Amino acid sequence: MIPAVEATGHAAAGVAAVGLGPSIAASVLQVVAVLFGGPLLVGLMAKVRARAEGRIGAPIRQPLLDVRKLMTKERVHAEHASVVLSIAPFVVVASAAVAVAIAPLVATVPALHHGADLFVVVSLLLMGSVALALAGLDPGTAFGGMGSSRAMAIGALAEPALLVAVLALSIQAGTSNLPAIVSATLAHPAWVASPQRLLALVALVVVVLAETGRIPVDNPSTHLELTMIHEAMVLEYAGPELALVTLGEAMRLGLLFSLVANLFFPWGIATTASVPRLLLGLAVLGAKTAAIAVAVSLLEIQTAKLRLFRVPELLAGGFVLAVLAVITGLVTR
Amino acid sequence: MTVALFLGALGLGLAGSLAGATLPARRRVFAAAALSSMACVVAFVGAGEVLLSGRSGAFSSSEILPLTGVNLLLDPLGALFVATTAVVGLAASCYSVGYAGNSLRSRSAAGLLPLFLTTLLLVPAAASVATFMVAWELMALTSLMLLLVEHRHRAEAREAAQWYAAMTHVGAAAILVGLVLLVGHRGGESFADIAANAGKLSPATRSLGFVLVLLGCASKAGAVPLHVWLPRAHPEAPSPVSALMSGAMVNLGIYGIIRVGDDLLGGGELWWWLVVLGLGAASAFFGALSAAASTDLKRLLAYSTIDNLGLVLIGVGAAGALAATGHHRLAALAMLAALFHLVNHSAFKGCLFLAAGAVERATGIRDLDRLGGLVHRLPATTALFGLGALSISALPPFNGFASEWLLIQSLLHGFASRSPATVVALLGGVAALALTGGLTAAAFVKALGIGFLGQPRSPAAASAHEVAPSMVAGMALLAVPCVLLGVAPGLAMAILHRATESGLGTSSPGSLHHGLGLDLAGLDGAIEPVLLVAALLSALGLAWGVVRIVARRGARSAAAWGCGRESQTSRMEYTATSFAEPLQRVFADVLRPDHDLDVTHVAESRYVIRAMSYSGQVDDVIERSWYRPVIGLVKAWGSVARRAQNGSVHRYLAYSFAALVVILVVLA
Amino acid sequence: MITSSIVRRLLALRSLVARPVTEQRPRPTGPPHVVRFPGSVQLRHVDVGSCNGCEIEIASAFGPHYDASRFGARLVASPRHADGVLVTGVVTRNMAGPLRRTLDAVPRPFAVVACGDCAINGGIFAGAYGVECDLEQIAKADVAIPGCPPDPTAITEALRGLTGR
C-alpha cells in the first residue's frame, strides 16, 4: 500500500539504524564478494555449458586466472584514440563497484543505504554502458562503431523495460529505496507470489539477459565480428585494461543476478551487520546467484541466439510485461 | 530595490541594443555584449533577491504604452525564469564576442541580440495582458529577425523563418484571444484582476481560454504536434541565438501555462492537466526518437529540446492533475521536479548549443557524418560538449540525473491518487519517461562519439582549430551549474520551493530537506550525490592505483586493429546514419523514413544494371503527414479566392457596395 | 507435439549428468616446455595459406574428445586479447602483410606457435609460386607442432606446455 503522505520515516518494516563502521564493513564485503564472485559465476555458466556439450571444460575459476594473466601483459593504445579509450575501463569498474557497494546484496544495511535508490543503481549501470560505447567509437574502427551502435540500440530498448519493472516493485513497496524494498518484502512474504512480482520478474530476466549480453541476445563467446554486440566494443583493449573491462562486466553480471535474487527471494539476507549474519548472508547470496547462473546457462543451452533485428521484439515483450506488472499492481491495490 | 534592479537591467539591455545598432563595426559587438552581460548580472541579482526573500516587486506606469500602460510584477515564479534567462544570457553574450563572424557583426544583428535578451527578461515579469502580449510579440519578432541574419547565405534559413513566423504568430493570436476571453466583460486586464474575476466566468469560457493559451504556449515550448518550427529554426539561427531560444525562450511557453492555469485560473479542471500530460508524453517520446535518428548536430539538439520540454510538461501536467484531485503535497513535489528540470535543461542545453556553434565555427560543418576527430583539435569544446551530453543523458552525478530522479519520484508517489484518469495518465507519462531515457543516451553517444571521437571524416574536420577563449568561457559558465546542481542539488531546493509555492499557491513546508542531497520527507526516498561522487572518485583512484602497482609492463602505441587490413581510413568508420540505423529500423513505423532507389538499366537489357542511386532521409513525419496537407489546402483556397481578383475596378466597387449593404442589413 | 519437444529437451540435458566423453588427461610425451602463461593462454589463429587440414585438427583439439580448454587454452577473435599467435599453413604472398600486422597488434609478451609442417618448414608447398617466405623470416616460432596434419593430442600437449597444466 502507498502510505499516507504525512507519515514520517521509512515506510516499510524499518531498515535498522546501523553505525557507520559496520555498514562500511558490509559494503566492503559486498564489493570483495562480487569482485571475486562475478568471474566465478561466469566460469560456472561456462562449465555448465561445457558439461552439456559432453566435455570437461575449463575450471570454474578460469576467468580469475585470465584476469591475473592479463595484468602481466603490456598495454597497447590505438594511434588515433584519445583519453576516452584509456579512462573507460576504470569508469566501468568504478561504477560497477559503487553500485555493488550501495545495493543490498549481502546485507540490507550497506553504506549509503539511505541514498541507495534503485534508479541510482540503474543509472550507474548506464554509466558503464555509455563509457564502453564511447570507447568503442574512439579508435575509429568499423567494428567498434558497430558494437557501440548495436549496444546502444539494445540498451535504449532495455532501459524502458528495466525502469518500468523497477517502478512496479517500487509501487508495491511504496518506495524506490532498495534496502527498504528488500526489507518490505521480508516483512510481507505474500508479496513474492503476487502477480505483479511475477510479471516484473519475467521482465527483469529479459532485461538481465540483454544487459549481460547472454544468449538469446548476444553470444559471449562468438568469434565472428558481424555477430558481436558487446565483444566488438572491446576489440581494442589489451592487458590490464582488458582485465578491468572483463572484471567490470563480471561485476555487473554478479550485481544483476544478486539483485534479481534479493528482490524476488530475499530470505537469508543479513538485516544487521553482525559477523555471523554477514557470513550467512554471503553464503546464501552465493547459493542463490549460483542457482540463477545455472538456470540462465540451461536457458542458453536450449535457445539459439536471436537475429539482431528480432531482439527488439523480445525487449518490447519485456516492456509490455513490465507495464502489465504496473497495471496489475495498481488494480489490485 | 528589486524593482530598481530589474528596471536597471531592462535599461542596460536597451542601451546595449542601441550601442550595437549605432557604434562602428569594430566596437559594436563588444559594447553590446558588455552591456547585455551587465544587464544579465543585474537581473540575476534582482531575481535572486525576490527568490531568497519571497517578496515580489511591482512596477506600473501608464505612460510607456498608450491606452493600457505597463504593469510589471516580479514574483518568485517569474523570478526563477528571469534568473535562468539571465545566466543563459550572460553565457551567450560572452560567447557572442568571439563568435561574431560576418553575420553577427552587422548593425541589425548586433542591435537585435540585446533587445531579444531584454524581451526574454521582460515576459516573466509582465502582469497585465497588454504588457505580456507586447513583450511576447517583441520576443517573437526579434528572434525572427535574428533568424534571418544569414538568409543570404542559406536558403534553409529563409524557409525556417517562414515556418517560425507563421507558427509563432498563430500561437500569439491564440494566446491573445484566450487571455481576452479570460478578461471577460468586467474589464480589468491586469493579471491580478483576471485572477480575482476567474470565479465569475462560466466553466466553458475558462476552459476555452485555457485551451487557447495552452495551444499558443505549447507551440512556443515545442510540444508535439505544434513543434515543427523548432527543428527548423533552432539549427538555422546563429549559435548564441540558438542557445537563448532553447535555453530561455521555450521556457516561457511553460511559464505561460503555469501562470494562466495554476495562478490565474486557480488550478482549473482535471482534464486540462491530463491534456498537458498527454502532450508532454507525446513530445518526450517523439523528440527523443527523432534526436536518435538525426544526423545534423544542431537538429539533434533541437529535437532533444522538444524531448526535455515534454518531460517538463509531464511534470506540470501531473502537478495540476494531483492538485485538482486534492493531493497538494504531491502536486508541489511534481511542480518542483518540473521547474528543476527546466532550470537544468537551460544549463546543459545552452552549453550544448554553444559547443555545437563552436564546432560549426571551427569546421563549417553541422553534419555529423562529416565530422570526427575533434577531440584532438578542439579539446576544450569536446570536454564541455561531453559534460553537457552526460548531463542530458541523466547520468549521475550531473544535474540531469537529479531532476529526472525527482520527476520519477513525483510520478511514482503520484500513483497514490484515487482518480483513475490521473493514474492512467501518469502511467503514460512514466512509460514515455522510461522510453526517452535510453533513446537520449543513444542520441548523445552518437553525437559525442561520431562527431568528436574517432578519425576526422572530412578535410575541414581534420584542420579545425580551437575557438576563441570568450567562446570557451561562455560554454564553461553554463557547465558550472551542470556540475554544481548535480553534485549538490539541495542547494537549489529553497529557491525552487518559493517558485513552486508562488506558482501553485499551495504552501508545502518541508517536503524536501535542504541539505546537499535530496530527501523526500514523509515519503521514502533520497539520493546523496556528494557521497556518490566521493565513492566514484575513490573507486577510480583505487582501481588506478592497483593497476599501477600490479601491471608493471609499459604501454605501446600501435595502429588500431582492423583485421590486418592494409589501410585503415576514415571511410571505414561508422557514420551517424549507420549508428542510428538499428533504432531507425525498429521505429520505422513511427519515423517513416523516406527512401528513394533509382535504377538505370543498360539500354539493351533490363537485367543488366548500369547505375543505381539511393537516397534516404528522415524528415519530420508530423510535418509531412499533417502540416503539408493543411498548407496544400490553404494554397488551394488561396488560388480559388484569386479568381475573385480579376483587376476590374468595377467589380471591386461592386464588392464594397455589397459589403456595405450586408452590414446595414445586419445592424438594422 | 508438446510432449515430444519436452522429451527432446530433457534428453539434451541428459549429458549434463552423464560422464563427459573427454579422454583422460594424456601423459606428456616429451620434455616439459617453458611455462609462459600459467593457467591461462589465449590464442589468435591465423591461416596464412593452409589447406585447412590443420584447422580441422585444431577444431578437433578444442572439441569434446580432446578438450584443450580444460587446460586453460582458448581461441580469441582479436590479437589484442591474445597471448599467442597460432599460425597454420605456408606464408603466402597475400597473407604476409596481414600476418605482420597481426604480430604487431599482439601485446608483449607473446608466443608464436607454428602448427603443422607447412608452418615449420613449408611442408609439401615449400618453394611453390605463391609462397612468400619461411615463417622464420617474419617471426621465430616459440613452439612447433610437427605433423601433416598434427594429431590433436600433439596440439593439446603443446598448449599444455604453455599453460603448465
Hey, is the C-beta of C101 within 8 angstroms of any chain B C-beta? yes
User: Is there a domain that residue B384 lies in?
Assistant: yes
Choose, out of C101, C104, C106, C108, the residue to mutate when testing the contact with B (most B CBs < 10 Å). C101
> B507 and B626 share a domain?
no
> B416 and B279 share a domain?
yes
- Residue B434 and residue A71: Cβ atoms within 8 Å? no
Q: Dihedral through CA B614, CA B620, CA B621, CA B626, nearest 10?
A: -130
Q: How far is CA C51 from CA A316, B240, C57, C129, in A?
A: 46, 65, 12, 16
User: Between helices A20-52 and A275-302, what is the axis angle to 10°?
Assistant: 30
Q: Is B268 left (phi over 0), alpha (psi -120 to 50) or beta?
A: left
Residues in Cβ contact with B535 at an 8 Å cutoff, skipping those fewer than 6 apart = A98, A101, A102, A112
- Residue A53 and residue C42: Cβ atoms within 8 Å? no
- Residue B564 and residue C80: Cβ atoms within 8 Å? no
Write down the pLDDT at residue B512.
61
- Residue A79 and residue B578: Cβ atoms within 8 Å? no
* Burial class of residue B459 (count of CB atoms within 10 Å of its CB; 0-12, 13-18, 19+): exposed
Q: Is C127 left (phi over 0), alpha (psi -120 to 50) or beta?
A: left
- Residue A126 and residue B395: Cβ atoms within 8 Å? yes
Write down the pLDDT at residue C29.
66
Of A76, A112, A137, the CB nearest to B449: A137
- Residue A53 and residue C15: Cβ atoms within 8 Å? yes
Write down the pLDDT at residue A14.
46
User: Is there a domain that residue B590 lies in?
Assistant: no
Q: Give the pLDDT mean for C94-119.
A: 93
Q: Give the pLDDT mean for C118-146.
A: 91
Give the whole-angstrom CA distance, residue B311 versus residue B308. Answer: 5
Write down the pLDDT at residue B279.
95
The DSSP-derived string for B13-65 is HHHHHHHHHHS-HHHHHHHHHHHHHHHHHHHHHHHHHHHHH---EEEEESSSS
Of B553, B558, B566, the CB nearest to C105: B558
Write down the pLDDT at residue C31.
63
> In DSSP terms, which residues pair with B389 in a beta bridge?
none
Q: Decide: A248 and A128 in contact? Cβ < 8 Å.
A: yes
Q: Which of B492, B511, B530 is the last residue of a domain?
A: B511
Neighbours of chain B (3+ CB pairs under 8 A): A, C
Write down the pLDDT at residue B126.
92
Give the whole-angstrom CA distance, residue B444 versus residue B373. Answer: 16
Hey, is the C-beta of C91 within 8 angstroms of any chain B C-beta? no
CA of B558 vs chain C CAs: smallest distance (Å): 7
CA of C70 vs chain A CAs: smallest distance (Å): 4
Write down the pLDDT at residue B257.
95
CB atoms near residue C52 (< 10 Å)? 12
Chain C residues closer than 8 Å to B553 by CB:
108
User: Is there a domain that residue B443 lies in?
Assistant: yes
Q: Which of B447, B481, B511 is the last residue of a domain?
A: B511
Q: What's the total number of domains in chain B?
A: 2
Chain C residues closer than 8 Å to A235 by CB:
77-78, 80-81
User: Is there a domain that residue B252 lies in?
Assistant: no
Q: Decide: A261 and A285 in contact? Cβ < 8 Å.
A: yes
Backbone angles phi, psi at C49, to 5 degrees: 160, 50
Residue C98 has pLDDT above 50, yes or no: yes
CB atoms near residue A79 (< 10 Å)? 12
CA of A239 vs chain C CAs: smallest distance (Å): 7
Q: Which of B482, B511, B540 is the last residue of a domain?
A: B511
**CA nearest B562 in A: which residue?**
A141
Backbone angles phi, psi at B100, to 5 degrees: -55, 105
Chain B residues closer than 8 Å to A308 by CB:
582
CA of C97 vs chain B CAs: smallest distance (Å): 8
Q: What residue ranges of chain A have pLDDT lower than 50?
A: 1-14
- Residue C99 and residue B559: Cβ atoms within 8 Å? no
Write down the pLDDT at residue B641.
87
C-alpha cell at A65: 586466472
Chain A residues closer than 8 Å to B423 by CB:
330
Write down the pLDDT at residue B103.
67
Q: What residue ranges of chain B have pLDDT lower than 50?
A: none
Give the whole-angstrom CA distance, residue B551 versus residue B398. Answer: 32
Chain A residues closer than 8 Å to C109 by CB:
73-74
Chain A residues closer than 8 Å to C108 by CB:
73-74
User: Is there a domain that residue B345 lies in?
Assistant: yes
CB atoms near residue A13 (< 10 Å)? 14
- Residue A301 and residue C13: Cβ atoms within 8 Å? yes
Give the whole-angstrom CA distance, residue A199 versus residue A325. Answer: 5
Residues of chain A numbered 172-201 and touching chain C (CB < 8 Å):
none
Chain B residues closer than 8 Å to C98 by CB:
563-565
Chain C residues closer than 8 Å to A141 by CB:
none
Of B517, B551, B574, the CB nearest to A115: B517
User: Is there a domain that residue B626 lies in?
Assistant: yes
> B637 and B500 share a domain?
no
- Residue C107 and residue A73: Cβ atoms within 8 Å? yes
CB pairs under 8 A between B and C: 21
Of C78, C97, C108, the CB nearest to B566: C97
**CA nearest B556 in A: which residue?**
A76
Write down the pLDDT at residue B216.
96
Domain that holds residue B490: 269-511
Query: For residue C48, what pLDDT band results from cuts at 50, 70 and 90?
Result: very high
Hey, is the C-beta of C137 within 8 angstroms of any chain B C-beta? no
Write down the pLDDT at residue A17.
62
For the entire predicted model, the pTM comes to 0.93
User: Is there a domain that residue B144 lies in?
Assistant: no
Q: Which of B135, B133, B109, B145 is nearest to B36 (CA)?
A: B109
C-alpha cell at B641: 479566392
Of A74, A160, A330, the CB nearest to B423: A330
Hey, is the C-beta of C75 within 8 angstroms of any chain A C-beta? yes
Per DSSP, the three-state class of C67 is: coil
Give the whole-angstrom CA distance, residue B519 versus residue B529. Answer: 11
Q: Which of B358, B383, C106 is nearest to A83 (CA)?
A: B383
- Residue C101 and residue B559: Cβ atoms within 8 Å? yes
Chain A residues closer than 8 Å to C61 by CB:
none
